[in-house]
Structure formats: structure tokens, C-alpha cells
Amino acid sequence: MNKPLLILIGVVIIISGLIIILYPTPETESKPVYDTGFTYYDIEKIQNTLATQNIFVSAPTAITDHTISQYCTFFEKGLPRTVEYCTTTAVTDIHGNTLGNINIGGDTNSPIMAIANIETTTLDSNPDEVFAILETMIETLVCDCWEEEKADDDVESISAWVDLVHKFYYDSNERGVKSQIDDLKNSEITLEITPKDNSVLQTLIILK
């Protein structure tokens, strides 16, 4: 199986079979697949699962005006893409502290992408909540089959993958990094870590 693609901005390295490359240059745009995979209703499954772990996701709000690019822009083969229709939710912990948001977008009938933006003070802040969000997103929108599908891979579990990306972030002197899994149930799954002035942003992107 393909191994995870780890990307460090500005550096080209090969380490232990993991390819580290530059962010790609914009090329061509591929046609989205709307009639497969997850739906907008899956946000309810995410809400219910996270609620059992004291993480609360608000009801989705539809965004159709010019601000849609702030919530549902993603990159496909290096090209920035926006969608026709996008919904966003706020994610908070048991104390009401904001953890980020979950956005799902596509056309009005079916989504093609989902994004979780999780911002914490440091990479080690709220580790249980952060992992719960990442795991729930993947298991709900892609499949609960990571360990079975990737049993022979170097990243045999979601937690192993997240730990690997976190380690690479620290090894890169806390520069922006990106890791991509593209062989799980025909979905493309990307985890990006971006340092900010007083926080760290972890972004999970799932594309059909």
C-alpha cells in the first residue's frame, strides 16, 4: 500500500521511506464525485459520537455568500477549489471553550469534502479532544476500517498516523507540515499542522 506523504514547507527530504516534498504547484483540476461516500446528514453521527466524549458540535449553519471560501476552500492537485454550498459547525469542549469547527461542502445535494479546523494553544493542548475529533471524522466519513485496511503499513492505526505527523512537526523545528493518506476507501485524507503566533492549527481534510 502507499505510505503516508509527509510534506515540510520549503524542504525536500527522504526519511525511512516517507517522501517529504514541497507543496505542489497548481496544475489541473479533477472532477468531484458527488454520488458516493458521506452525506450532510453524517454531521449528526459526528455530533452524537463526540457528545459521548464531552465534545459538543453545534447545529450546522449553511454558508452561501462570498465568505464560503473562508470555510470550504481546499486544494486538489495543487489547485485551490471552492464549492457551491458549505455548512459549518462550532466545536467546543465540556467547559464551553472553543476547539474549532467542522465544515462540510459540495453542492446542495451532496458534499465532496469535509474539513475539521482545530486550534489549540500548543500541539500538546487538549490531546484527547483533538484525537477524538480526528478519529470520529475519519471513522464516520470514510470508514471504521483503518487497522484492517492498513494492517501491513507503517501507520497501522489512526493514532499512529497522528503521532507520526506530530513527531515530524517537532523534528522540523515546528514548521508547517502536511501528511496525506490516499488509499483508504477511495478517499484522500490529509492532516496539516500550521504554527500560528500564539497557537497551533491542526486541519483534517477529507475528500471523496
Number of structural domains the chain divides into: 1
Q: For residue 197, what pLDDT band results from cuts at 50, 70 and 90?
A: very high
Torsion over CA of 75, 77, 81 and 85, rounded to 10 degrees? -90
Is pLDDT larger for residue 4 or for residue 46? 46
Higher pLDDT, 25 or 106: 106
pLDDT of 21 over the 70 cut: no
Domain interval for residue 23: 5-207
Q: How far is CA 65 from the centre of its chain?
A: 23
pLDDT average, residue stretch 89-107: 96
Give the CA radius of gyration of the chain. Answer: 16
Whether residue 13 has pLDDT greater than 60: no
Quote the pTM value: 0.84
Task: Taking residues 23-32, report their average pLDDT.
Answer: 39
pLDDT for residue 7: 55
177, 20 Cβ separation under 8 angstroms:
no
Find the length of the chain. Answer: 208
Question: Residue 14 — pLDDT band, cuts 50, 70, 90?
Answer: very low
pLDDT, position 25: 32
Element of type H or E holding 171: helix 158-171
pLDDT of amino acid 4 = 63
CA distance 131 to 165: 12
Helix (H/G/I), strand (E/B), else coil: 72: helix
